[in-house]
Chain A
Amino acid sequence: MALPDLAKKPQRFTGGHRACAGCGFPVTIKIILQAAENPVVVGCATGCMEVTSTIYPYTAWRCSFIHTAFENAAATMSGVEAAYRSLKRQGKIDKDIDFIAFGGDGGTYDIGLQALSGAMERGHKLVYVCYNNQGYMNTGIQRSSATPRGANTTTTPAGTHLPGKPQYPKDLTAIMAAHGIPYAAQASMSHWNDLYRKAQKAFAVDGPAFLNVLSTCRLGWATAPEDTVDVAEGAVQCNVWPLFEVENGKWKLTFKPKKPLPVADWMKQQGRFKHLFQSDNTELLESIQRQVDEDWQRLLELCGE
């Protein structure tokens, strides 16, 4: 679909929300909601998205919206979806409705993981979207299990004792794919066409779907607000955030950089990595690059490239 045609569809997320200037997730929401053909019911875990879009008595949502606690967006939406199926069986509802659970990486990778795993395993027909900004940005930039190695956060402060976060992020998309769900995919807000197509697929499958979408946090990543899209693009171009999908167990790469950029190029764009460019951290920088290369090779093998 061409963008001018996409703009003709009514939008379900409005302006007037209180996210930072240059925030990434409203773009992620916009693209995903434009891909939904049916009315949607949204459940949202506590996080930036929930806090900034529903400050009482304002709501930026033009669809049904349920705020849940940090850990149970997937459980809440499981219940809503089960109730819907029951009402449909009884003939009390006849229209088709799509169900979306949104969570940040804190609410998905860490706190909401068991609720998410349960919902996927039970096979509810819902789309779980993780808008991944690689940290607990809403509460003041703490590290999460999605934060990249070496990133400066308030709980892994870069200094004389620690060069930022010591651990690598975990591969949640692969964990979700291992649940054997019909559709799991990794996308970025910078590649809208890819994200739009993946969202369409996620809504179409008869069962649970999981989308892990990189959404820039200009505050936590310490980037200029106007660079939001460029930085998300950079993560894809240097293979830190590869775009792929797993459809019924089949892995497929959906974007391959022509010539992958060095990870350092992407890191230089962000203030959270600036300490890595001091001379005593070159070894760490090199080992991060080696890890990214290894992960990329493994992904290529999985995708049969």
Chain B
Amino acid sequence: MTLSSQTKNLLKVHQQVNVNIEPNAGWRDLPIGGVIPQAGTATQFATGDWRTIRPVWSKEKCINCHRCWLYCPDMSWISENGQIQGVDLTYCKGCGICANVCPAKVHAIEMHPEDNFKDDEVVKEG
């Protein structure tokens, strides 16, 4: 069986969910009022597997305007010390907003079908 490294990564992210809930937990085990005690647990839910097209970023063309970072609804563009580092495919749903808001003259982001990446990342199990 072969799995792309990305699929493996997504599986790993899904398995990490340990938000105080065991698979066989009953209602008595849940916090009163359905409180979620930790903040930001959605980061453990990978929405990247919704994606059918993938943003591909050119570091050379990028002018670091951060419009992709701003208008990404899934907080997928990574910025460190004011520099765009690339896109986090764990959450990217492939909406294509980033490629659209990237200034036309810059054109640093292109959307490509996910199928194009299948061969790149196939790894052998075991």
Q: A230 to nearest B CB, angstroms? A: 7
When distances are taken between beta carbons in the complex, the residues of chain B under 8 Å from A229 are 71, 97, 100-101
Stretch at the interface among A8-16, A86-94, A137-145: A8-16
Please tell me if B5 contacts chain A, counting CB pairs below 8 Å.
no
Say yes or no: A16 contacts B47, CB within 8 Å: yes
Query: Is A156 at the interface (CB under 8 A from chain B)?
Result: no
B74→A26 contact, CB < 8 A: yes
Q: Determine which of B41, B51, B90 lies in contact with A59 in the assembled complex, contact meaning CB atoms within 8 Å.
A: B41
B75 sits at the interface (CB 8 A): yes
- Does B57 belong to the interface (CB within 8 Å)? no
Cβ contact within 8 Å between A62 and B39? yes
Report if A14-B42 is in contact (Cβ < 8 Å); known contacts: A21-B94, A30-B75: yes
Residues in A whose Cβ lies below 8 Å from that of B71: 27, 192, 228-229
Residues from chain A with Cβ under 8 Å of B42 in the complex? 14-17, 53, 58-60
Binding site secondary structure of chain A: loop
Interface residue range, chain A: 35 or more
- Contact present for B75 and A228 (CB under 8 Å): no
Q: B41: which A residues are within 8 A, CB to CB?
A: 57-59
Contact of A15 among B51, B64, B74 (CB under 8 A): B74
Chain A residue at smallest Cβ distance from B79? A7
Distance of A65 Cα from B35 Cα, bound (Å): 10
How far is it, in angstroms, between the C-alpha of A11 and the C-alpha of B45 when the chains are bound? 17
By the criterion CB–CB under 8 Å, are A59 and B36 in contact?
A: yes
Give how many B residues have a beta carbon under 8 Å from the other chain's beta carbons. Answer: 46
Decide if A17 touches B47 in the complex (CB within 8 Å): yes
Is A280 on the interface with B (CB-CB < 8 A)?
no
A59 to B41, CA, bound (A): 5
Contacts of B23 in A (CB 8 A): none
Interchain CB contact under 8 A, B95 and A16: no
Q: Within 8 Å CB of B79, what residues of A? A: 4, 7-8
Q: Measured between C-beta atoms, what is the minimum distance from A46 to chain B in Å?
A: 14
A4 to B95 CA separation, bound complex (whole angstroms)? 22
- Write 28 A-B pairs (CB below 8 A) sorted by A numbering: A4-B82, A14-B75, A15-B47, A15-B76, A16-B45, A17-B47, A18-B47, A20-B93, A21-B51, A21-B73, A21-B94, A22-B97, A23-B73, A25-B73, A27-B70, A27-B72, A27-B73, A56-B34, A57-B17, A57-B36, A58-B36, A59-B41, A60-B40, A60-B42, A226-B95, A226-B100, A226-B111, A229-B100
Further contacts, 20 of them, CB under 8 A, given A22-B97, A58-B45: A3-B67, A4-B79, A14-B75, A15-B42, A15-B47, A15-B88, A15-B90, A15-B91, A16-B90, A17-B74, A21-B51, A21-B73, A25-B73, A27-B72, A58-B36, A58-B42, A59-B36, A59-B39, A61-B39, A230-B100
A→B interface (CB under 8 Å): 3-8, 11, 13-27, 30-31, 53-54, 56-63, 192, 224-230
The 8 A-B pairs with the shortest beta carbon distances in the complex, nearest first, are A15-B91, A226-B96, A16-B42, A22-B95, A3-B66, A4-B82, A21-B93, A57-B19
